[in-house]
Amino acid sequence: MNTSLGRRVAAEAIGTGLLVAVVVGSGIQASELSHDVGVQLLANSLATVFGLGVLILLLGPVSGAHFNPAVTLAAWFGGRRTPEGFPLRDVAAYVPAQIAGAIGGAILADAMFARPLANFSTHDRSASHLWLGEVVATAGLILLIFGLTRVGRAALAPAAVASYIGAAYWFTSSTSFANPAVTIGRAFTDTFAGIAPASVAPFIAAQLLGTALGLAVVTAVYAPNVASARRAIDVPSSEPEPASS
């Protein structure tokens, strides 16, 4: 990736912030327009699918569109023993930017709907079945991202990743946070999409476990590809090379 670290970090902060603004804002809007929880979740998931797909398409060529410390850590771990891998210096820059962006995105969403700013959530999500849901959601996300890059299909990432997250809203008990930064950001809004601060640490622990599990599956299924560890979601600006190359 030839873009300067400063520009990539800015893209990660802005992308993660806008992602959380989409998640929280659509949750607020849905809860104001309908009292049916199923309709609220449907609206929230659809907005997230479209918003995430656009953000990956827009910012993927700049930073790799991680928007997620789990993806960043997986990219570093996958290439840590090679000079072409994702460097630890970039991890140290990406992760704080993602967290700061996520918090800013939650505050922005609350501001747009005239809600109290940085009001901690009271939505308790402390339950073992929810933690299992986060393990499954995160493992699947890591498998998808690094599986796509290892077979030369990174150009499909905007549609594939957004579709997976939309599906995981419904097939996981936790509604698929699958992102430590987003989890932290959603603790700063006492709305439909919020999570109580006390529930954050177990969710993140489950997400990190899911990250390790996802990487293990990638290693077991796909042949090594150093470039995939460096790029993560790297949407090419031109036609992708054939998988056989």
| CA distance linking residue 80 with residue 164, whole number of Å | 27
- The closest alpha carbon to 184, from 209, 204, 166, belongs to 204
Q: How confident is residue 224, by pLDDT bands cut at 50, 70 and 90?
A: confident
What is the per-residue pLDDT across 130-150, written as a single tens digit (0 to 9) for each? Answer: 999 999 999 999 999 999 989
| CA distance linking residue 145 with residue 179, whole number of Å | 14
Task: Name the CATH topology of 5-231.
Answer: Glycerol uptake facilitator protein (1.20.1080)
- The closest alpha carbon to 233, from 36, 96, 72, 87, belongs to 72
Domain range summary for the chain, segments of one domain joined by +: 5-231
What is the per-residue pLDDT across 88-97, written as a single tens digit (0 to 9) for each? Answer: 999 999 999 9
What pTM was computed for the model?
Answer: 0.90
Judge whether 97 and 16 are in contact, CB under 8 Å. Answer: yes
Q: Tokens 């809004």 belong to which residue?
A: 189
Judge whether 158 and 56 are in contact, CB under 8 Å. Answer: yes
